[in-house]
Structure 1
Amino acid sequence: MARQMFTVRDVLYMYSDARTAYDRFVGIGSNPEQARNAVALLVWLDQCNVRAIQHLPGLSPTAVSLVAAEANSVLDCLRGPEPVVPAIPLISALCKDGDVDPRFFTFHQDLVVRGVADILDGVGSLIFNNHLNKMLRRYQTGLVGNPPELMAAYSCLSVAVPEDCRSMFITFSRGAPIDREEIFDYFRQKWGDCVVRVLMEKTAGGSQPMYGRIIFRSEAFVQLVLNGERLVKISIRHRQIWLRKYVPRPAATQNQN
């Protein structure tokens, strides 16, 4: 039996609720990256039969703002070192059965993060593509022709991106040493197999490294760590590290191993 092929246009229509949710989140002032992450979370929940996203078009701006805040509380608990049960009363109320247990997010962080990352790396490339969505609205009737971009076959395979695009620069507090294995284990225990490797500053004479670099398997993990922030802080065994998106610097690159 031949496998059904979907066009970009087909997929955009299938995820029209997700695009509407994204536009509404941005419309109430949400940071675009936070809006993307929140929508990806809601899409993943929808695929798990927690169907809250379909109600977004009919909600008031105040209710939309509350849904965005609840989704971000889930994303924050996924990043934090200690499991904190998020409060999501409105998302729960929007679901048919109203039985979403917030504890699921804290006890199954790896499952949730991998699911959301797959959305961001996969169909999210269409959902959050402003150019394609503007084109879809322009040619939505299909009566005036369909541009090749919309009629192209959709591939569900994620596009590989360079290491620099899926890396984070990390800095440490002086006097609170931390090694690469601890950083690696922190993310592996929370999010599963998400880190390729951790690089640390080369030092001499036993000096403590003051910076390093984490290379994730996917750019989506970087987006989920930052969630719209320029700089975030996490605690590993009561020692703080700061993370931000990696910007290649030849001198720093040569001084890591």
Structure 2
Amino acid sequence: MAATTVRDMLYFYSNARAAYERFIENGSKPELARNAVALLLWLDQGRQHVMRHLPGLTKDAVGHLAHEANAVLDRLHQDSLLLPPTPLISALCQNGGGIDPGSFAFNQDLIVRGVAEILDGVGTLIFDDRLYHLYRRHQTGLLGRYPELEAPYISLPVTVPEDCRSMFITFSKGQSVERDEIFDYFRHKWGDCIVRVLLEKTTGGRTTPMYGRIIFRSEAFVSLVLNGEDRAAIFIRDREIWLRKYIPRPHNG
């Protein structure tokens, strides 16, 4: 049996790519569009077949679908266990299915890990503009056999440097939390998604840190925390913690 090629995968996920492009055309930020498509693909793994309806949706319906998907994604890092209304997603799902409210409340880790696996796996092809440009040139006959498209598809996620899967966290003065509390917060909601948490080493008589860094197991978790925003807030013991993408300091020299 011939190995599955990159071209085969691009063809198989062409509806997902089309959905991504329609979300972008409707004004979604790329990160929001990627996350929304990944969530819908996760639903399709449960034989919901949402993606097959995308080509026939109007522009307004596509906008509503993106809004519903991102409302679900926004809830995943918040304290609320209530599923936001998703009438269009439910209508598009086979047999009127969709995201079960009970499952959402108690199995958010399954949703997050499933969406993260898609972002880190086939998502690296689906959302690669250059690859799809090559693929479409090949499909129209403008490009012959191209080694990158004919290469075997390897499904193992690519490990990225820690800086790319890290978040910078800040606390209000005197409102820091313990390292283990941050671990427990995400472990409870998302499962085993954190490698380690680093907190500021205090000096000069100050006993509580003002900032720190969370290193996640994959870059997808950073994307799901922010979901298109520059920063996001979580609450631990009623203490507000702000998270943003970690940007390492440039080295002089």
The question of a shared fold, defined as TM-score above 0.5 by the shorter chain, is answered with: yes
- 1:99 is the counterpart of 2:82: no
Is contact 2:82-2:104 (8 Å) kept?
no
2:230 counterpart letter in structure 1: R
* CA distances 1:55-91 after superposition (whole Å, capped 9, x unpaired): 1111001000010011001101111122122211101
**1:60 aligns to what?**
58
1:158-237 to structure 2, matched below 5 A, reads: 158-204=157-203, 205=205, 207-237=207-237
Is contact 2:7-2:150 (8 Å) kept?
yes
Structure 2 runs not aligned, ≥5 long: none
* CA distances 1:140-195 after superposition (whole Å, capped 9, x unpaired): 15685221111111100111111000000000011223111101100001000000
* CA distances 1:3-30 after superposition (whole Å, capped 9, x unpaired): x511110000010110010000001000
Is contact 1:87-1:102 (8 Å) kept?
no
Is contact 1:77-1:106 (8 Å) kept?
no
**2:81 aligns to what?**
83
The separation in 1 between residues aligned to 2:40 and 2:123, in whole angstroms, is 12
The separation in 2 between residues aligned to 1:144 and 1:41, in whole angstroms, is 32
Q: CA deviation at 1:206?
A: 5.1
**1:240 aligns to what?**
240
**1:255 aligns to what?**
none
Is contact 1:88-1:102 (8 Å) kept?
no
Could you say what secondary structure the match of 1:203 adopts? coil
Give the aligned length. Answer: 249
Q: CA deviation at 1:102?
A: 3.4
**1:121 aligns to what?**
120
What is the alpha-carbon root mean square deviation over aligned residues?
A: 1.5
The separation in 2 between residues aligned to 1:61 and 1:111, in whole angstroms, is 31
The separation in 2 between residues aligned to 1:230 and 1:144, in whole angstroms, is 39
The separation in 2 between residues aligned to 1:143 and 1:136, in whole angstroms, is 10
Could you say what secondary structure the match of 2:175 adopts? coil
The separation in 2 between residues aligned to 1:213 and 1:167, in whole angstroms, is 7
The separation in 1 between residues aligned to 2:77 and 2:197, in whole angstroms, is 18
Could you say what secondary structure the match of 1:221 adopts? helix
Q: CA deviation at 1:96?
A: 2.2
2:21 counterpart letter in structure 1: D
Is contact 2:82-2:101 (8 Å) kept?
no
The separation in 1 between residues aligned to 2:4 and 2:140, in whole angstroms, is 18
- Identical columns (%): 63
1:140 counterpart letter in structure 2: Q
- 1:149 is the counterpart of 2:148: yes
**2:46 aligns to what?**
48
Could you say what secondary structure the match of 2:96 adopts? coil
Could you say what secondary structure the match of 2:95 adopts? coil
Structure 1 runs not aligned, ≥5 long: 252-257
1:125-136 to structure 2, matched below 5 A, reads: 125-136=124-135
